[in-house]
Chains A and B, each alone.
Chain A
Amino acid sequence: MKLKLRIWRQKNAADKGRMVTYEVDDISEDASFLEMLDVLNERLAVEGEEPVAFDHDCREGICGMCSLVINGQPHGPERNTTTCQLHMRKFKDGETIDIEPWRAKAFPVVKDLVVDRGAFDKIIEAGGYISASTGTAPDAHATPVPKADADKAFVAAECIGCGACVAACPNGSAALFMSAKISHLGLLPQGQPERDDRVVNMVRTHDDLDFGGCTNTGECTVACPKGIPLEFIGRMNKDWLSASGK
C-alpha cells in the first residue's frame, strides 16, 4: 500500500506544532497501524530525521498506552478497537491519513503524538481505590456478589484508561472514564465504604483539572475501544446527586 500521512509534529510542550506530510510505500495490508508508523520511523532514522514520537506498549489492545486521532477519530475508524489492533486493510491504497494527538487541556502534548495523561492518575488518586485490605485471594464464597452486578462491574472494569473518550468528547469531558471507574468499584461490596466520597472527590478533581462537563452527546462511547456504555455516566450522576446531599 502507498499512503500519504499528515502527522502532527511538535518538538516539545512549548513548540507550536504543525502537520507534516510524509509518504510511505510498500505497507502490508496486514500491518497494524503502529507497525506502519514503525516503518516510517525506521526510514526517518536512516535519513537522519527525528522519528515520530507516539505512545505504545503491549500492542495487544489491553494496556491503554496507544492513542492517536486518525482521520478525526480516536483509535481510528474501526469500532471497539485500539490503534495497535487496527490494521492497514481498513484503509484504501493511496489514501491520505491525518494523525493527531489527543486534544485536551488536561492532556498536554509532550512531543509529537505523545500526550501526558497524568490527569487520569490524579482522578484515580482522588477515589479510584478501595481501602479494604484484600490480602491474598479470599474464598470465593466469602463475599457473595450477585451475578448481574459482577457482570456489570466487569464491563466497567474493561476501561483501559486510554483517554479516547476525552479525545472524542466535544466538551473534552472525562465523564466516561470516571464513570467506568466509579461503577466498577461501586457495584461491588468492597467498594461501598468509600462510595460517596469517591464520586464527589473524583468529580471535583476532574473539574479542577479543566476537563469539560458531560452534555450527553454520546461521542465517547462510540470512540471507546472497549465499548464502555453511557449507562455508567447515568449511574455516576445518580451517585453524585445522592452523595452530595448527605
Chain B
Amino acid sequence: MAIASIPSLYRSTVGKKAIMAVTGVLMVLWLIGHMVGNLKIFFGLEEFNGYAAWLRTLGAPALHEGWFLWVMRFGLLAAVVLHFSTAAELTVRAKRARPVKYQHRAKVNGSYAARTMRWGGVIILLFIVWHILDLTVGTVNPHGVHGEAYQNVVAGFAPDRWYITLFYVLAVVSLGFHLRHGLVSAVQTLGLKNPRQDKALNVIATGFAALITVGFLIVPISVTLGVVD
C-alpha cells in the first residue's frame, strides 16, 4: 500500500482521520514507555532518579546529553499539534454540515467513549499543559527541583494536595475513554479492521485502555495514600 501524498492527506476528510490515527498510534506507543518508567518509582528513590538521569543519556555517545529527549519532545509536539488541529477541523466541519439542529435528538447509539472524544481530548490537552509545568518544568510543583524526579512526584501528590491527585485521576480516566474509542477508530480509519475480529479488537482496546488508566493512576494515588514517600 502506497502512502498517500501529504497535501491530499490534509485536504480530505478521510486523510485527516488517517493523520489522527497515525499520530494517535505514535502517542500511544510513547505512553507505554512513559507508564513503564513511572512504575519504577516503586523501586525507590535511587532507581527512579537514576532512570530519569539515564533518559538524558539516551543515544549517547552518538548524541549529546539530552538531545534524544529534545528530538522526542519535538516529535511529540508535532504529533499533538497535528492530532489536535485535524480534530478541530473535523469538528468545525461537522458543525457546518448540520446548521439546523434536530428538535428531538434520540439517545445516541454510540459508546460513551465515542461521544466524549472531543471534550475528552480538550481535557487531556489542558492536563498535558499542567503536567509539563508540574513535573517537567517544575514551576507549579512544590518541590520542583531539576534532577530530583522522585522528590518532585512525592511533593506534587502529597496527601494535602489531594485535589491535584483528583485532577490527575479525572484526566487519566478521560485518557482511558479516549483510548478505548481511539484505538478501534484508528484501526478502522487505516482500513485494517477485519470484521470477523471485531470482538477481539474491542476486548483488546478495552483491556489496553484499562491497563494504561490503572498503570498511570497507581503512582499519584500511592503517593497521596502514603504508600510511596
Contact = CB atoms under 8 A, between A and B. Distances in A.
Interface of A: 6, 8, 17, 19, 69, 71-73, 98, 100, 103-106, 109, 170-173, 200, 203-204, 206-207, 210-219, 222, 229-231, 233-242, 244-246
- Chain A interface, DSSP helix/strand/loop, else mixed: mixed
B195 interface: yes
Please classify how large the interface on chain B is, using the bins under 10, 10 to 19, 20 to 34, 35 or more.
35 or more
A212 B13 contact: yes
A105 B96 contact: yes
B97 A217 contact: no
Contacts of B193: 231, 234
A206 B90 CA distance: 14
B97 A171 contact: yes
B149 to A, nearest CB: 37
Contacts, number: 154
22 contacts: A69-B104, A103-B101, A105-B97, A105-B99, A171-B94, A172-B97, A172-B98, A206-B13, A207-B13, A212-B13, A214-B13, A214-B14, A215-B90, A215-B117, A215-B185, A230-B195, A234-B195, A235-B191, A237-B190, A238-B191, A238-B192, A242-B2
Contacts of A206: 13
Contacts of B190: 237-238, 241
B1 interface: yes
A103 B193 CA distance: 30
A241 B101 contact: no
Contacts of B1: 238, 241-242, 245
B4 interface: yes
Interface of B: 1-5, 8-9, 11-18, 90, 93-94, 96-110, 114-115, 117, 181, 184-185, 188-193, 195
Contact of A213 (B94, B107, B191): B94
Contact of A72 (B3, B4, B94, B104): B104
Contact of A171 (B90, B100, B109): B90
A186 to B, nearest CB: 12
A204 B12 contact: yes
Contacts of A204: 12
Contacts of A245: 1-5
Nearest to B13: A213
B97 A212 contact: yes
Given A71-B104, A171-B90, A203-B13, A231 B195 contact: yes
B84 to A, nearest CB: 14
A166 B96 CA distance: 13
